Homo-oligomer: A and B are copies of this chain.
Amino acid sequence: MGRPARFDSGVLVAAATALAARAGPGAVTMAAVAREAGAPSGSVYHRFPGRPALLAAVRLDALADFQEGVHEALAAEDPLEAAVGAARHVLSWSRGSPDRARVLLYSDADFEAPRWPAAERVRRDRGNARLGAALAGAAERLRAPGEGAGPALERVRTAVADLPLALVRRYLADGGTVPARAEEAAADAAYRLLAPRP
């Protein structure tokens, strides 16, 4: 089966993720990743055809790991509980995986998504579509009487994704960490945004 690998994809993606978290996507150069992992540049190019492919791997690995937990939370029976649980998950996941969370806080464009290999872009679109469907399902179940489907989805997106991520952004700024109490703050805010008007 050939020479055993000292630097597999996982090691390189981890090094790249650490770099991105520490100094932004711009710091994720092929040379810097090789240095960070202690590998020769040849090994990096052996695993990834180029910089865009490596950036895609960093971004999509973080995204997939994140979305998995969101789907689990959204599967709860009670719709309000599902949404609030998802909001809470965003914080707890970020607390446990700060480097990946920092990757998540950037945009696809910052990771040069237009240059990704086509297969990676497809992988991203599939994940996004699946999450969008799950959120739309939650929104449908949470719709206020007389509220349109669009506004309801916007409200759920805000409560479940945007707001919790905004909290994460605040806590992770300047090398900080996400405190445990932030989970309750996110759950509380999500509840306020989604509970029926008094």
Are A170 and B162 neighbours in the complex by a CB distance under 8 Å? yes
Interface size on A, residues (CB 8 A): 25
Residue in contact with A162 in the complex, picked from B23, B107, B167, B198, CB distance below 8 Å: B167
Q: Report yes or no: A158 in contact with B189, Cβ–Cβ below 8 A.
A: yes
Asked if A62 is an interface residue, CB under 8 A from chain B, the answer is: no
Q: A26-B25, A166-B163 are in contact. Are A185 and B107 (CB under 8 A)?
A: no
Per-position 1/0 for A159-198, Cβ under 8 A of B = 0001101110110011000000000010001001100001
Contact (Cβ within 8 A) A167 B158: yes
Contact of A110 with B by CB under 8 A: yes
A109 in the interface (beta carbon within 8 A): yes
* Interchain residue pairs with CB less than 8 A apart (13): A24-B25, A24-B26, A25-B26, A107-B169, A108-B174, A158-B166, A158-B167, A162-B163, A162-B169, A162-B170, A163-B166, A166-B166, A192-B193
| 8 more CB-based (< 8 A) A-B contacts, given A24-B109, A107-B173, A162-B163 | A24-B26, A24-B110, A109-B173, A154-B185, A157-B170, A158-B167, A158-B189, A162-B170
Interface set of A (CB-CB < 8 Å, partner B): 23-26, 107-110, 154, 157-158, 162-163, 165-167, 169-170, 173-174, 185, 189, 192-193, 198
